[in-house]
C-alpha cells in the first residue's frame, strides 16, 4: 500500500453525503496522508475530502428526472472515469446506484479496488443487477441486516456493518409518550418532494383540525429546501402550522408523524414516534416503479421489520381524508400506539453492533493492503 493512497468517493444525494462524510473522517484517521477525491456535498468537503463535483449541481428525482439532466450527467460520468484512469487506489461508491454501478464496473475493469458502501436496493427492484454487482465489486458494506445473506446468496461478497443512523450519527433520545404533543409533517428532503407531498399533508392536517381543534402541527424543514418554498405552499392552504422546527426535534417531540417515505421513516421509528407513511410521485415515475419494484411495502421501517407496522398511503391512495382518519385513529388508540412503539424499540438492536464506518474503514485498509 502506498503511504499516500488516493481514494475516490462518489455519492449523489444529501443522505449519501452525510454518511460518506463520516466515512471520510474515519479514513483520514486511519490514513492521515490519504488524498480523498469526491463527487459529494458540503459535508464531505468539511470532512476533508476534495469535492471535484458537487451533488447540488446534479440533483435529480425519479426516472424521468434523468432525461432533463442527461447531458450534464454524461459529462459527470466521463469526468469521474478520467479520475479513475489517472491513478486511484480505492473507489468507494456510496448508494446512488444509477451512476455508481457503472463507475464500479469501469473501476474494476481498470484494476481499481472497489468497496461499495450502502448497497443498491436490488432486493426491491432489478434483482438481475446482482450479477453485475458480483463482477463489479471487491467488497460490499451493507447497512440492513437481511442484505448480507441476500447478496452472498447472489455471489456478492457482502458484510453487514450496522446502520449509520445507529452506529455513526446521534438521534435525539426517545421521549416518554406522555411528554409529546402535536403532529409533525415531514414532506421529504427534496424540493420536488415537498411541492408534491406537503399539500397532501396540509389538507390532511386541515381535516384533522376540523375534527380536533386542539391538535397543533409542525413542519420538519429539510436544509436543502429553501424556507420560502414551505411558506408559499402553506399560504395556499390556510392551515395554522409551525415551520420553524428542525426535523429531528419534531420527530422527538411529536405525538404522531406524517412522513414522506424514505430514511426519515427509520429516523422517526428510532425516536420511537408513531408514524404514518405518505408518498406520491409523478404518474410516469410511478408507472415505471410499478414495473420494477418487487416488494409489497415501500416504508423503510416496514421493510426492516418485515411487516406493515406503519400505515402506508401511496400514490392514488395518498388522499387527505383517509390519512386524517388513520391519524385520528392512532391518536385515540393508546394500545395501538404502544404496540407500534414496542416494535420500534427492537430496531436499534437489529441495526447496531457492527462498527459502522469504523468497520468500513477497516475493510478499506484490507483492500489497500492487497494492492
Cα separation of 348 and 344, whole Å? Answer: 8
Q: What is the pLDDT of residue 316?
A: 85
What are the grid coordinates assigned to 283, written together?
A: 404518474
* Residue 66: per-residue pLDDT: 56
Angle at 355 between CA 349 and CA 356, to 5 degrees: 90
Confidence of residue 77 (pLDDT cuts 50, 70, 90): very high
Instruction: Give CA separation, 106 vs 73, 116, 266, in Å.
Output: 16, 13, 33
pLDDT digits (tens, 9 = 90+) for 143-155: 999 999 999 999 9
The residue among 59, 104, 98 whose CA lies nearest residue 81 is 104
For residue 198, the model assigns a pLDDT of: 97
Backbone angles phi, psi at 93, to 5 degrees: -75, 140
- Condensed to tens digits (0 to 9), the pLDDT of residues 251-285 reads 999 999 999 988 899 999 999 999 999 998 765 66
Determine the Cα angle at 157 with ends 350 and 102, to 5°: 105
Instruction: Report the distance separating Cα 218 and Cα 316, nearest Å.
Output: 25
Q: What mean pLDDT do residues 22-35 have?
A: 96
Average pLDDT of the residues in 348-356: 91
**Can you give the pLDDT at residue 234?**
96
Q: 95-99, 127-131, 210-214, 299-303: which range is least confident on average?
A: 127-131
Q: Is the pLDDT of residue 339 over 60?
A: yes
- Rounded Cα distance between 260 and 189, Å, is 9
pLDDT for position 353: 82
Quote the CA–CA distance of 40 and 93 in Å, as a whole number: 11
Cα–Cα distances in Å, from 100 out to 73, 136, 201, 263? 12, 10, 33, 20
- Give 297's pLDDT tier (boundaries 50, 70, 90): confident
Given a cut of 60, whether residue 64 has pLDDT beyond it is no
- Percent of the chain at pLDDT > 70 equals 92
Joined grid coordinates for residue 351: 441495526
pLDDT at 245 exceeding the cut of 90: no
> What domains does the chain contain, in order, with CATH numbers?
6-162+353-369 (3.40.50.2000), 177-350 (3.40.50.2000)
Q: Residue 29: its pLDDT value, please?
A: 96
Q: How far apart are CA 100 and CA 92, in angstroms?
A: 9
Q: Look at residue 152 in the predicted model and tell me its pLDDT.
A: 95
pTM for this structure?
0.88
When the pLDDT of each residue in the chain is averaged and rounded to a whole number, the result is 90
Amino acid at each position: 500500500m502506498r503511504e499516500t493512497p488516493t481514494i475516490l468517493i462518489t455519492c449523489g444525494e444529501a443522505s449519501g453525503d452525510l454518511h460518506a462524510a463520516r466515512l471520510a473522517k474515519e479514513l483520514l484517521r486511519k490514513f492521515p496522508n490519504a488524498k480523498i477525491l469526491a463527487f459529494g456535498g458540503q459535508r464531505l468537503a468539511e470532512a476533508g475530502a476534495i469535492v471535484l463535483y458537487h451533488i447540488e449541481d446534479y440533483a435529480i428525482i425519479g426516472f424521468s428526472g434523468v432525461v432533463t439532466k442527461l447531458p450534464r450527467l454524461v459529462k459527470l460520468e466521463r469526468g469521474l472515469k478520467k479520475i479513475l484512469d489517472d491513478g486511484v487506489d480505492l473507489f468507494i461508491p456510496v448508494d446512488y446506484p444509477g451512476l455508481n454501478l457503472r463507475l464500479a464496473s469501469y473501476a474494476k475493469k481498470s484494476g481499481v479496488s472497489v468497496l461499495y458502501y450502502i448497497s443498491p436496493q436490488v432486493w426491491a427492484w432489478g434483482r438481475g443487477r446482482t450479477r453485475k454487482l458480483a463482477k463489479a465489486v471487491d467488497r460490499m458494506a451493507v447497512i440492513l441486516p437481511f442484505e448480507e445473506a441476500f447478496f452472498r446468496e447472489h455471489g456478492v461478497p457482502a458484510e453487514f456493518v450496522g446502520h449509520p443512523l445507529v452506529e455513526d450519527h446521534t438521534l435525539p433520545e426517545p421521549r416518554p409518550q406522555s411528554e409529546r404533543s402535536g403532529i409533525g409533517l415531514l414532506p421529504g428532503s427534496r424540493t420536488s418532494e415537498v411541492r408534491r407531498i406537503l399539500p397532501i399533508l396540509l389538507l390532511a392536517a386541515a381535516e384533522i383540525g376540523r375534527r380536533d381543534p386542539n391538535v397543533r402541527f409542525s413542519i420538519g424543514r429539510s436544509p436543502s429546501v429553501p424556507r420560502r418554498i414551505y411558506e408559499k405552499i402553506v399560504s395556499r392552504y390556510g392551515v395554522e402550522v409551525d415551520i420553524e422546527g428542525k426535523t429531528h426535534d419534531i420527530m422527538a417531540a411529536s405525538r404522531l408523524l406524517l412522513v414522506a417515505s424514505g430514511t426519515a421513516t427509520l429516523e422517526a421509528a428510532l425516536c420511537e414516534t408513531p408514524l404514518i407513511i405518505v408518498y406520491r410521485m409523478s404518474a410516469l415515475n410511478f408507472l415505471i416503479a410499478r414495473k420494477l419494484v418487487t416488494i409489497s411495502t415501500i416504508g423503510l421501517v416496514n421493510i426492516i421489520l418485515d411487516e406493515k407496522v406503519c400505515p402506508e398511503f401511496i400514490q392514488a391512495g395518498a388522499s387527505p381524508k383517509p390519512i386524517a382518519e388513520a391519524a385520528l385513529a392512532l391518536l385515540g388508540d393508546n394500545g395501538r400506539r404502544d404496540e407500534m412503539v414496542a416494535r420500534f424499540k427492537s430496531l436499534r438492536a437489529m441495526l447496531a453492533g457492527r462498527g459502522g464506518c469504523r468497520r468500513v474503514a477497516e475493510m478499506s485498509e484490507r483492500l489497500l493492503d492487497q494492492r
